[in-house]
Amino acid sequence: MNKIQLMSHLVAGYPTDELAFTAASAMVAGGADILEVQLPFSDPSADGPAIQGACTEVLARRYRTADGLTFIARLHKAFPGTKIYLMSYGSLIYTPGVEAFCRKAAEAGVNGMIIPDLPFDHDEGLTAACRANGMENIPVAAPSMAADRLDTLAHAGFAHIYAALRTGITGSSTTIDERTVAFLNKVSAGGSRVYGGFGIQDGSQAKALASSVEAIVAGSVFVRLIEANRADGKKLYETVKAKAEELTGL
């Protein structure tokens, strides 16, 4: 079986910048093709307990957006061949100005933006600002979207769409079944390539999903591994790398 493409998620600065960098290094060594780096946010709408807890801890250190971008710049320098997508929420992007934020993100090495609470057709200029700065905006599709709205998104001309495989928050395991595949087919109907995530935790899920997406997305599973092994950097590296290898089929 060919290697499965993987977008792996981590929270900038969690539990420290050094351990977050160790985790990112392990993800890349384990075959991750894209690092999805989340800027810590106090009131997320899509994150489950593991990621919410990580964000809360980092923010308690007075971690700022600038710190997150500095961390991303370090990743970009260390892994220039690995795509980096920045994941955050609309208020962090809107407050400093969408264009100004996108310019700083691009300078740090970001290739794309994933902002779940900015609708694709009311994105405060995010798509245009990404394009102007050599990045792409990656909108989020969910099974709860009305059929006509999902069809409009699918045919809106985005290079990639992030498909949340179920409604609700991240963290719980997701069953990959015929309904999942049917949803993904609708998301890709207009030619956009699809990233599929929400509740991907093991290799069997990754294999079941791989033929329907360009890359699988795994987040909470990595955050929980980082939390469980934060006291031992070597063990953290080994366990995160092993999980990436499991998900990519290496």
Q: Are 212 and 163 in contact (CB under 8 A)?
A: no
Radius of gyration of the chain (CA): 17
Phi, then psi, of 140 in degrees rounded to 5: -110, 130
Count of beta carbons in the 10 Å neighbourhood of residue 245? 18
The pLDDT assigned to 169 comes to: 47
Tell me if the pTM is above 0.75: yes
Q: How far apart are CA 137 and CA 196, in angstroms?
A: 16
pLDDT tens, position by position, for the chain (250 residues)? Answer: 589 999 999 999 999 999 999 999 999 999 999 999 999 987 665 556 788 889 889 999 999 999 999 999 999 999 999 999 999 999 999 999 999 999 999 999 999 999 999 999 999 999 999 999 999 999 999 999 999 999 999 999 999 999 998 654 444 556 788 999 999 999 999 999 999 998 899 999 999 999 999 999 999 999 999 999 999 999 999 999 999 999 999 7
The kind and range of the H/E element at 68 are helix 65-78
Active-site annotation, residues: 36, 47
Q: How far is CA 12 from CA 18, 55, 70, 194, in A?
A: 10, 9, 10, 24
Distances (CA, A) of 52 to 127, 154, 167: 26, 30, 17
For residues 69 and 147, what is the distance between their CA atoms, to the nearest angstrom?
37
Asked if 38 and 12 count as a contact pair (C-beta separation under 8 A), the reply is yes
Judge contact between 137 and 85, C-beta under 8 A: no
- CA 161/CA 211 separation, integer angstroms: 16
Phi-psi group of 115: left, alpha or beta (phi > 0 → left; psi -120 to 50 → alpha; rest → beta): beta
| Under 8 Å between Cβ of 85 and 111 | yes
Residue 69: other Cβ atoms inside 10 A: 21
Q: For residue 158, how many other CB atoms are within 10 A of its CB?
A: 20
d(CA 27, CA 34) in angstroms, rounded, equals 9
